[in-house]
Amino acid sequence: MNLAIIGCGGMGGNHAQFATNCGLNLVACGDSHKKKAQALAKRFGAEATDDCMALCRRDDVDIVGIMTPTPTHSAYVIAAAEAGKHIFCEKPFGRTVDECLAAEAAVKKAGVRLFVGHVVRYFHEFEAIRAQIEAGKAGNVGFVKAYRGGIFPQGEDMWFRDYEQSGGVTFDSSIHDYDWIRYVFGDVERVFCQALQRDDAIDYALVTLRMKSGVIAHVIGTWAHPAGFRVKVEVCGDNGMITYDNAEAPISSMMRQVEGGQPTMIVPANPVETSPYQLEWVDFLAALEGKGEPKVTPEDATWAVRIASAALESAKSGEPVTL
Amino acid sequence: MAKMGIMSFAHMHAYSYAACLNELPEAEFVAVWDDDAGRGAAAASQFGTTFIADLEEFLGSGIDGVIVTSENVKHRAMVERAAAAGKWILCEKPLATTPADCQAMIKACADAKVGLGTAFPCRYIQSLLAVKQQIDNGDFGAIYAASCTNNGQFPGGWFAQMDLAGGGATMDHTVHVADVLRWMLGKEFTKVYCENGHLLGRDTDLDDAGCLQMEMEGGVIISHIASWNRAKSFPTWGDVTLELIGEKGVVYIDSFNQKLNVYNDDAMKTEWAFWGDNPDLGLVADFVAAVDEKREPSVTGVDGMRALEVTVAAYKAAAEGRTAAVQRAAC
């Protein structure tokens, strides 16, 4: 099957690799910055364009991958769906719940498949935590804490710095944890959030989720650190605890600086044979072949946006938001 | 030489404070009183001192200062008796379970012209002292946000009873960190949101898990976990951690992470052996010096009340499902 990718920044390049690893043929790359589209297209022998809407409608395209800034997602999803394409959309699904619902409706009407990349559901460590919970190792769980983040992301044209566009760490990054917590512990009853959202690119979000089951979840998101990327999870129950910290990894390396420059290479600290990003494509492509449902449904992706939107609303009002 | 006594060994911290009294050359640990005579006599024997069953006799035995380590709700009556007898007092945290009780205790000590301290040993933890120094130096610039924990194993006993503890994990594990933040940042708390409940199956009807969100003056945003969430099989009793987000940098402090991993086949669980300085020793040494110098202890009764007011706001917020303003009582 033929793939087109819209949005040729870091995530676009990432997905181009993993999708082609799965046997997809990348035929076209679109980006409003044509040079980015050309650079990625060259790597994969594809065509480049800055007309992303036209790319959604190309006859030779079966799947459209949408890796652009969040507020543009729904328009591309709707265009691709109307053209009868299957769609892989990066998270967050949309910037508002209404955008998500409009995109969902378009997909349903067109009878195409939509997958939203809530990749944490595919991370080995998160699946292992879920397995331990399901095996009862913590007993009945009453409290969950998730911590994620590090340096403020760059993104194309520094678009993350525009909190209206990106929603900051509260929306863009902690949505991984809202989705995973809902995946494992069910629906959310209410949301409370305090967030920094400073203009000098320091953001920090403190979110409390009260689940319908009664479980309390605390989600901490940071784009306030000068460097690094940290993920920590803690699950507490009536018969035990499960904790995870990505600082505990099999490889620790330190590369010597070359004269007057950056270190020459980065060694991954925590390699796995198959990347979770590739597992997303495997799951999505299996669904396209009629082999079951993927782990993430469009409804799940809308729910994640609903929780993230409630967090921003709470941060603004200073009071909890009931869903 | 300050003559010291301990009133009640109901709280496990009494055993650590007693050991500190024996360790400090400036202190003489002369007597124990306890409303549980068997417990008091055993403790007196353990620490090589005298048990006095009668409270008046204990207060009249020539002691200069007392450490009150009873159940939370008994603090007020014991502090008032000791103050009336002219004793300097160090009271276990929380100072009391209501701001009104705190106010009465502070007034009783002021009227009797005796010092009243709240037992917040975190102020003597070396890692927290070091970071406070850096904050005071301006190394981190303004502090914008913090996420904190005071996680612990379930203590059981009277901690599980409303009529003795005055609340569950939120009561037990909010005040230490509330005090540390007031001390480190020099700001007061303004409002609190809290989700809590009996969620971890601990043997109590009280809340065993609390998740607080707080704001301090100037809009500093803070979250805090006050919880009995540590499993019995966890390698230690719990933790005090703070991540501070500042203008010039961030810092994470895991206060008790000066430890050895101990794998012992009799225990059949990993245990952490703490090797850092004992913060209780700093706390008790300051109190002994306060008694000797007839001055207020460094961490006062008002500090105890201000921390308790955060706890009270947390329970109010949890009951009402919205934020609660932190009401600061007069003192």
| Chosen from B192, B198, B199 to mutate, greatest number of chain A CBs within 10 A | B199
Q: Which residues of B touch A233 (CB under 8 A)?
A: none
Residues B237 and B317 in one domain: yes
Q: Which residues of A touch B209 (CB under 8 A)?
A: 142-143, 216, 236
Residues B92 and B135 in one domain: no
B130-189 per-position pLDDT tens digit: 999 999 999 999 999 999 999 999 999 999 999 999 999 999 999 999 999 999 999 999
The pLDDT, as a whole number, for residue A264 is 55
The pLDDT, as a whole number, for residue A182 is 98
Domain count, chain B: 2
Q: Which two tokens stand for residue A64?
A: 């459209």
Alpha-carbon gap, residue A168 to A160, rounded angstroms: 7
Residues B55 and B197 in one domain: no
Instruction: Tell me the CATH architecture of domain A2-117.
Output: 3-Layer(aba) Sandwich (3.40)
The pLDDT, as a whole number, for residue A156 is 79
Q: Yes or no: say if A68 and A80 are a contact pair by the CB < 8 Å rule.
A: no
Residues B225 and B157 in one domain: yes
Confidence of residue B110 (pLDDT cuts 50, 70, 90): very high
Residue of B189, B185, B206 whose CA lies nearest to B197: B206
Spell out the CATH class of A120-275+299-322: alpha beta
Instruction: Please name the residue of chain B whose CA is at the shortest distance from the CA of residue A194.
Output: B221
B29-88 per-position pLDDT tens digit: 999 999 999 999 999 999 999 999 999 999 999 999 999 999 999 999 999 999 999 999
Residues B182 and B320 in one domain: yes
The rounded mean pLDDT for chain B is: 98
Which residue spans of chain A are classified as CATH 3.40.50.720? 2-117
Residues B75 and B188 in one domain: no
Residue of A192, A224, A226 with shortest CB distance to B213 = A192
The pLDDT, as a whole number, for residue A265 is 61
Better-scored residue on pLDDT, B330 or B276 = B276
Cβ pairs A/B, distance under 8 A: 105
Three-state SS string over A162-225 comes to CHHHHCHHHHHCCHHHHHHHHHHHCCEEEEEEEECCECCCEEEEEEEEEECCCCEEEEEEEECC
User: Cβ B147–A220 below 8 Å, yes or no?
Assistant: yes
Residues B116 and B131 in one domain: no
Q: Which residues of A touch B202 (CB under 8 A)?
A: 238
Q: Which residues of A touch B208 (CB under 8 A)?
A: 142
Alpha-carbon gap, residue B247 to B115, rounded angstroms: 38
Q: Yes or no: say if A309 and A316 are a contact pair by the CB < 8 Å rule.
A: no
User: Cβ A216–B200 below 8 Å, yes or no?
Assistant: no
Residue of B191, B199, B222 with shortest CB distance to A142 = B199
Residues B291 and B252 in one domain: no
Residues B252 and B289 in one domain: no
Q: Which residues of B touch A140 (CB under 8 A)?
A: 201
Residues B191 and B49 in one domain: no
User: Cβ A206–B223 below 8 Å, yes or no?
Assistant: yes
Q: Yes or no: say if B2 and B27 are a contact pair by the CB < 8 Å rule.
A: yes
Residues in B lying within 8 Å of A, measured between beta carbons: 144-145, 147, 191, 193, 195-197, 199-202, 208-209, 211, 213, 215, 221-223, 225, 227, 229-231, 233-234, 243, 245, 247, 249-250, 321-323
Which residue spans of chain A are classified as CATH 3.30.360.10? 120-275+299-322
Task: Give every residue of chain A whose pLDDT is below 70, as ranges.
Answer: 260-267
Least Cα separation, residue B254 to chain A (angstroms): 14
Q: Is residue B219 part of a domain?
A: yes
Q: Is residue B167 part of a domain?
A: yes
Residues B266 and B129 in one domain: yes
User: Cβ B144–A222 below 8 Å, yes or no?
Assistant: no
> Quick one: what percent of chain B has pLDDT higher than 90?
99
Q: Is residue B84 part of a domain?
A: yes
Residues in A lying within 8 Å of B, measured between beta carbons: 138-140, 142-143, 145, 147, 190, 192, 194-196, 198, 202, 204, 206, 208, 210, 214-216, 218, 220, 222, 224-226, 236-241, 318-320
B10: domain CATH number is 3.40.50.720
Q: Is residue B330 part of a domain?
A: no
Residues B105 and B201 in one domain: no
The pLDDT, as a whole number, for residue A257 is 74
Q: Yes or no: say if B314 and B194 are a contact pair by the CB < 8 Å rule.
A: yes
Which residues span the domain enclosing B207? 123-277+309-325
The pLDDT, as a whole number, for residue A154 is 86
